[in-house]
Chains A and B, each alone.
Chain A
C-alpha cells in the first residue's frame, strides 16, 4: 500500500506542466545583438562521433543531431553568434539562449522557455541577477552562477539556476568545439 502511495506521490511530483514562452526567439536575437543588420543560420549536422563527443562532454544531444547557431552581422562583419539550448529538468524543459561575442566570450544569457511550474522559480533566479554572472565567461570555464545567487534567491530558484548553468555549459562546449 505504501509503495502505491509513494508511487502516486512521485507521479504527482514528477508531473510536468505545460511549457511557457518567456521571451520570443526573435526578440532574444534583437536583444542580444541589437547592432546586427543581417542574420545567418549556421546548421551543423553532427556526425556520429561528433554527436557522441558532445553527449559525453555535456550530456546533451541537440534535436535531430543538428546544432543551430545564429550569426549576426553588421555591414558584413560578424558581431556575434547565439545558440538556443534545451535543458530537461525533472520539472520539465527549459530553454536558454546564449550569445557569444566575436572573441568567444559570453555576451548575454536569456532564459526563453520554462514551464508553468518552473516559471516563478526561473523569474526569481533571473531577478536575483543570475544571468549577469555569465557575462564574459569563455569556453573552458564552468559556469557557477547558481551558487552566486543562492543566498538571495532561495532553494528552488537556485535549483533552476543550476539547470541554466547546465544549458550555458552546453552552449560553451558546442561553441568551442563546433562553431567554426
Chain B
C-alpha cells in the first residue's frame, strides 16, 4: 500500500499528530461533559435518558391528585440533567454526523499504519461501532428499557478505547518506529 504514515513526510506526520492531539483534547472535555451532565454508570445514564417515556400510563377518567412529602435532597435529584425526546432528536442530529467524520478521519489514520488487514478492519469497525452503540443505547433507553443504558456506557468507553489504540499505534509507528521497516 502506497499510503504508509511510517514513511510519510514529516509535515504529514505532524499533521496527524496535531489532529490526534486535538481529538484527544476534545475527548477529554467530552468525558468531563458526560461526567457533569449524565454520569459514567448505567444507573445515571438511564436516569438521564429514560425520563418521561417510561411513564406511558393512560390518562385517568377524572383528574387524580397525589401529594407526598419532598425533601430538598429529592428536589435536588430532580435537577439531574434529563434528555427528553426532543433534545435526543436534536443531539442525534448534531452528534452523529460529527462522530461519523471523526471515525472516518481516524480510519484514514488507521489505513496509514500498515496494520494487518484484519486488525485494520477490526479497528475501523470499532471506530464506527462505538458512536453507533452510544446513540443506539440512548434511544433504546428512551424507547424500550433503562437496562439498555449499558449499551451507551459500552459505546462511550469503546470510543475512548478506539481513539487510544489509534493514537498509541500511530505515534509509535510515526515517531518511534524504525524508518527502514516496510
Contacts and interface: CB of A to CB of B under 8 A. Distances in A.
A156 to B, nearest CB: 22
A42 interface: yes
Interface in B63-97: 63-72, 75-76, 78-79, 81, 84, 86-87, 90
A19 B87 contact: yes
| Interface size range of chain B in the complex | 20 to 34
Contacts of A50: 63
Interface in A42-84: 42-48, 50-51, 63-65, 70-71
A26 interface: yes
Interface residues of A, number: 29
B47 to A, nearest CB: 15
A39 B66 contact: no
A25 interface: yes
Nearest to A16: B90
Contacts of A70: 70, 75
A143 B63 CA distance: 27
A29 interface: yes
Given A26-B72, A39-B75, 6 more contacts: A26-B76, A41-B69, A43-B67, A47-B62, A47-B63, A178-B63
B109 to A, nearest CB: 30
Given A24-B76, A26-B79, A65-B59, A45 B69 contact: no
Contact of A39 (B55, B64, B69, B81): B69
